[in-house]
């Protein structure tokens, strides 16, 4: 990864146009070719970026400033005009081991795998961490009719989790040995927006009771 802190102007030219006036910013150039532009806030999202496949070339403007041109396969361009560079370094990060789920989420997966009939009578577990080209599905199951079901488990069910399961289902349904594959989005809490999106895509939502799966009673007061 290359880290550059520079005073720069950024222009995106393509289906949409966007302009960032001259200011000090962090530029990230990753090993996959992606380039992103960051301010000193917004940890969750860059100001602008170009996703791979893309290519970075270096040129010079008419007034002698450095110009980075990042072009993707659609011929859209991220044009970064650099006035001054304060820092420029490269770092080898190696292969990332991936996201490690927190203890509760990992334990939920383990418990649900042991008690898969929580999802339905006659259900059976095919495999935990069923691998796809873009990552592992938490549980691959079969329902009482023998239909394949991919189960994604979260502690808190949000829209990102639904999108993740949607991508898994798109890949799994290309496999004639598995298709049709249904989806279950299981979590201790599911946000209303996530539930609406999931149900719109034909994904079933299941709220998990962690204490019940562990075989203990919750200390919280309940109306029912």
At residue 169, the 3 state secondary structure works out as helix
Mean pLDDT of 211-222: 58
Q: Both tokens of residue 31?
A: 């090993």
pLDDT digits over 120-175, tens only?
Answer: 999 999 999 999 888 899 999 999 999 999 999 998 999 999 999 999 999 999 99
CATH 3.40.1350.10 domain extents, the chain: 103-214
pLDDT digits over 94-105, tens only?
Answer: 877 665 555 567
CATH for the stretch 103-214: 3.40.1350.10
What pLDDT is attached to residue 101? 54
CB 80 within 8 A of CB 9: yes
What is the C-alpha to C-alpha distance for residues 64 and 61, in angstroms, rounded to an integer? Answer: 5
What is the C-alpha to C-alpha distance for residues 191 and 199, in angstroms, rounded to an integer? Answer: 12
Q: Is 210 left (phi over 0), alpha (psi -120 to 50) or beta?
A: alpha
Whether residue 221 is predicted with pLDDT greater than 50 in this model: the reply is no
Q: CB 188: neighbour CB atoms within 10 A?
A: 16
Q: Tell me which residue of 89, 92, 93, 94 sits closest to 27, measured CA to CA.
A: 89
Banded pLDDT at 218 (limits 50, 70, 90):
very low
What pLDDT is attached to residue 93? 87
What pLDDT is attached to residue 47? 92
Whether residue 223 is predicted with pLDDT greater than 60 in this model: the reply is no
What is the C-alpha to C-alpha distance for residues 175 and 170, in angstroms, rounded to an integer? Answer: 10
Helix axes 159-172, 192-200, angle to 10 degrees: 20
Q: CB 112: neighbour CB atoms within 10 A?
A: 23
CATH for the stretch 2-90: 2.70.180.20
CATH 2.70.180.20 domain extents, the chain: 2-90
CB 38 within 8 A of CB 8: no
Record the pTM: 0.53
pLDDT digits over 19-61, tens only?
Answer: 999 999 999 999 888 999 999 986 668 899 998 889 999 999 9
Beta bridge partners of 176: none
CB 140 within 8 A of CB 101: no
Beta bridge partners of 157: 190
CB 168 within 8 A of CB 134: yes
Whether residue 86 is predicted with pLDDT greater than 80 in this model: the reply is yes
């Amino acid at each position: 990864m290359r880290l550059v802190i520079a005073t720069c102007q950024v222009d995106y030219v393509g289906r949409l146009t966007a302009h960032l006036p001259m200011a000090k910013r962090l530029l990230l150039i990753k090993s996959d070719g992606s380039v992103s532009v960051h301010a000193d806030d917004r940890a969750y999202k860059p100001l602008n970026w170009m996703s791979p496949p893309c290519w970075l070339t270096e040129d010079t403007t008419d007034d002698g400033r450095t110009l980075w041109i990042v072009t993707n396969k659609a011929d859209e361009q991220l044009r970064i005009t650099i006035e001054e560079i304060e820092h420029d370094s490269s770092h080898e990060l190696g292969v990332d081991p991936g996201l490690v789920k927190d203890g509760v989420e990992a334990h939920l997966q383990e418990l649900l795998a042991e008690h898969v009939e929580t999802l339905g009578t006659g259900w059976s577990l095919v495999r935990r961490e069923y691998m796809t080209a873009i990552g592992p599905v938490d549980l691959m199951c079969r329902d009482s009719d023998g239909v394949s079901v991919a189960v994604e488990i979260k502690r808190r069910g949000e829209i990102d989790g639904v999108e993740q399961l949607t991508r898994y289902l798109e890949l799994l349904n290309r496999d004639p040995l598995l298709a049709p594959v249904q989806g279950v989005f299981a979590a201790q809490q599911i946000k209303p927006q996530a539930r609406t999106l999931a149900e719109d895509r034909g994904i079933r939502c299941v709220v998990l009771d962690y204490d019940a799966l562990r075989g203990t009673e919750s200390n919280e007061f309940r109306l029912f």
